[in-house]
Structure 1
């Protein structure tokens, strides 16, 4: 039987009591609780209790969602989390006014409070020092991860690293500058990496190398965010990203899978050598709906024209390479579109035919014509494919492939990248994918001795915020294609590169178009196409407003709550 972390029945009541205590003060517990229930004052007595309490933290990893829920990091996006790869089956755009509440804001601060409680209580728990240090590292890891996401979403945020009673005067403090928050995040992760065990429970709980993987992500984000968003020096963070990546890359236990698709359609990721951390599913315990939503008659969300055209041919050249690319056969037919293209294209999408409202394929339709098949696996049949809440494929959370691409990008941004660096990192990903490897002179990118010259790199769209050199451009492309499962990484990448214009329908019309189906031109089809035959999924457009849409609005209820305590919590620009 597949192993899955499960809360012992006796602990469920423990977790309910202690979780309730995180929303209120410790003194809010009943003075005389039932003798069969724990309270904060009598819970912290063993390693087993600490471990059980730490399991609550893992709910923050959304993976493919929980049971019938569609709050997830893959495929299911909402109005606050969409990117330039996917056109949703219902039009999505940016909020125009600040909401009173924000579920992420609330859940993130609940998790931070829980981590601070762990850090305060664990030192006094009678347990082995090695395990004590490990769980201190676990708490620091999750606190860092959560503050990182808060700064990504909201910028400057209130910060506390101690567990406070609800009546403490320090509960309400002005927001800390995001730069200082990130420095605290990095400090937490560096300390976590020294405290945590090299391996705890294979790859289903966090360990030393999960901390390094997250540190790699955080520092790459911060180095590029400071460079492109804040016009500040980011080199120190990029070097930290490179070093943290190497800590993972030098661990021989981690290796790429032979097949890229297996990251996203495996029934079992426990012990998978490419997966640094996985979210696991088991029938009767926890399921998801990722396959059901992409294998039923419901109209699928679909690939955008902008994303489809980013796939290179197998020679590694962009389809619009200056001087021509003989491997690209055009897009008059679906056969031509997929011919000689990066094999990941056909692994993620059906290449037999398009499917749309007037012409379903095996009962499926897509809002852009491209049928999604990334999560399909022959190992799952029946209700494990078709029934909402009963799908069982596991979700990757941190992977070696991401670390490789973090390393390559950090080197390129530092201006120190060599072909050796590329062979250590991005070329392993490209070789696994089945496309030609890159070489570089430090700023240019070549395949088979041919210099890559993609006209898109210097297009008017790119000039809005500034074009990057060819090597950085190709590494960015590789991130897009490798993670074309619509993880939240793409949205984060767009924002840290200051490329929010990618999401704007006026500045980037291709983001709101789909497949080219010339046979629909001039017909009465319910699926509309433009004069060139590209599917038009929506009758409305989308505008990206800078700087407003680079950050979410601070919930207005929280602004009012802080103000009532005499503290000003400033709203983000444009809101």
Structure 2
């Protein structure tokens, strides 16, 4: 939208015909009434604190909120809930049916309203600047989201007047202006927001983290998206990602590591108290006493599972690729977890995993067979809607990954850098350390195939692997693929577990068959000779139900009919952006669609 800056959501909720049969200009342009009069309210630093507290509710509306899955990305085999991104690359998304909620500017108005009304505030200037920094932090977040989705967008630093036609109906501002403005907001926050304070609030370190995250995103996006013609400016963003992350690395944070390997990693996502965890830069505090909860039980076996390509990404504990081990591609489910990076078995359900009463859960081939368990807390008081675990929002591990990747992209990374970043994460997990020389001499051919833009830089490939493994299911993967110009990975048909033949299989690791995959209910020959005690307890799946199929008809990888019926196709550069809702183009003809739309 353009003014209306704050009217998009309401427009979407009124009769859709209003958008096409005409609309009353005075109604659409009317400035919303606010209960806060700036002349009476913005007078003290307490007023600023009270008002800025409202910004925290925006956290969960953006990618800054706690990520608990990788929808939509190549890390997911199937998602029954669907997504806009999936619809897009299947050719189903258009400017007419794209969500109008994505062009909602009300939060920006709230932020700018405070920033535009500071003239009467009295108090300590450092404290005033602190709260200005909080506001600018959230404005940076707002526009970071818009930049990722649309590229060029109108940029506003003021609350619009309903009579300001030039501003209301302006054209988009270029990516360079928007990106520089985002960086300036994060820079201001990093300089002025106080370092001291609880890690459930925005601090200097959270601000520096977002600055580093943004600069890595923009630097790599410009480097790999040569169609923008901005490659010459990529290095400045990458250098700032390095310096910002380096400053955080000297601030006393550390990787949570008690020597328990996968258990330590798992506790980051299932703990009811992260307040003393030095890996947390910013986290969401949930409490049963305060009735603050989350719904992370949804991650387990509800609508999606992890993909085979993600499962294959985890290294062996000796640091060698799983995909270089003999017979890796046809190993059964119960075998693939052996001698693997312990983070795998705390992200993907391993054989023997039990949620209740000690009864092992059975995988579902209809979802691909690799259920997500990361963030799933086994808690007898938990229900689907009420889990009281704390959730990481920014953790130190991400900062180490930013530092390593930015240095590798700039060609300055050393073994010492790797030891201070990537190898701290591998050490926690119990995986052999990364050696630059070995990685560059013997780059993983599977990763080279995934990222053809990288030539002979095995260390950068391994850093990307480590990022995907360490941050799996935390909501980073889709944006990572976009900034690396690796969208073509999203069009590959996803795969699940390997099935050697039709019949019954042990999936709990006790040697007894638990599930069976058959052609149809009347073709039971593959299980006819099993003991009655085993056969009667089998969970049966039939290919004739058409919820999945096997890549070699009666054997092979679990795959999904939707990828045949409506195959994915990633059109470059079009699908690196979403379309602006058509209604907004009608309201403001100066708006133009992103490239390709």
Identify the match of residue 68 of structure 2 among 64, 74, 78.
74
Distance 1:482 1:86, change over 3 A: farther
Task: Give the aligned CA root-mean-square deviation in angstroms.
Answer: 2.9
Task: Provide, for residues 485-527 of structure 1, a one-character-per-residue CA deviation record: whole Å limited to 9, x for no partner.
Answer: 2x3311111001110011103xxx4xx1101132437832325
TM normalised by structure 2 equals 0.78
- 2:496 aligned residue: 514
1:397 matched to 2:393: yes
Question: How many equivalent residue pairs?
Answer: 504
1:555 matched to 2:581: yes
1:247 matched to 2:273: no
Distance 1:312 1:63, change over 3 A: farther
1:424 matched to 2:427: no
1:453 matched to 2:453: no
**What is the CA-CA distance between 1:87 and the residue it aligns to?**
2.4
Question: Residues of 1 paired with 2:266 and 2:558: CA distance?
Answer: 27
1:306 matched to 2:309: yes
Question: Residues of 1 paired with 2:242 and 2:550: CA distance?
Answer: 45
Question: Residues of 2 paired with 1:468 and 1:112: CA distance?
Answer: 44
Paired residues for 1:70-469 under 5 Å: 73-75=67-69, 77=71, 81-90=72-81, 93-95=86-88, 96-99=93-96, 102-103=99-100, 105-107=102-104, 109-169=105-165, 170-200=167-197, 202-230=198-226, 232-233=231-232, 234-258=234-258, 259-283=264-288, 285-291=291-297, 293-294=298-299, 299-321=302-324, 325=325, 331-352=330-351, 362=361, 365=364, 367-378=367-378, 380-382=379-381, 384=382, 387-441=383-437, 445=439, 451-459=441-449, 462-463=451-452, 465=453, 467=455, 469=457
Question: Residues of 1 paired with 2:97 and 2:112: CA distance?
Answer: 26
**Greater displacement, 527-536 / 148-157:** 527-536
Task: Provide, for residues 285-331 of structure 1, a one-character-per-residue CA deviation record: whole Å limited to 9, x for no partner.
Answer: 4322211x245xx644111111111111111111233xxx47x8664
Q: Matched residue of 2:478: which SS?
A: helix
Distance 1:470 1:249, change over 3 A: same
Identify the match of residue 592 of structure 2 among 560, 570, 573.
570
Question: Residues of 2 paired with 1:491 and 1:223: CA distance?
Answer: 17
Identify the match of residue 556 of structure 2 among 533, 552, 555.
533
Distance 1:76 1:85, change over 3 A: closer
Distance 1:49 1:519, change over 3 A: farther
**What is the CA-CA distance between 1:187 and the residue it aligns to?**
1.4
Q: Matched residue of 1:94: which SS?
A: helix
Question: Residues of 1 paired with 2:256 and 2:30: CA distance?
Answer: 46
Distance 1:472 1:300, change over 3 A: same
**What is the CA-CA distance between 1:149 and the residue it aligns to?**
1.3
- 1:10 aligned residue: none
Question: Residues of 1 paired with 2:161 and 2:70: CA distance?
Answer: 37
5+ residue gaps, structure 2: 1-26, 259-263, 504-516, 520-540, 543-547
**What is the CA-CA distance between 1:52 and the residue it aligns to?**
2.3
Q: Matched residue of 2:281: which SS?
A: strand
CA contact (8 A) 1:63 1:73 kept: no
CA contact (8 A) 2:70 2:478 kept: no
TM normalised by structure 1 equals 0.81
Larger radius of gyration: 2
Distance 1:331 1:48, change over 3 A: farther
Question: Residues of 2 paired with 1:127 and 1:425: CA distance?
Answer: 41
Identify the match of residue 50 of structure 1 among 48, 51, 60.
48
Identify the match of residue 502 of structure 1 among 489, 492, 510.
489
Q: Matched residue of 2:208: which SS?
A: helix
Question: Residues of 1 paired with 2:138 and 2:446: CA distance?
Answer: 39
CA contact (8 A) 1:220 1:410 kept: yes
Q: Matched residue of 2:336: which SS?
A: helix
5+ residue gaps, structure 1: 1-22, 31-36, 66-70
Distance 1:560 1:196, change over 3 A: same
Distance 1:64 1:348, change over 3 A: farther
Q: 4+ runs of 1 displaced by more than 6 Å?
A: 23-27
Q: Matched residue of 2:94: which SS?
A: coil
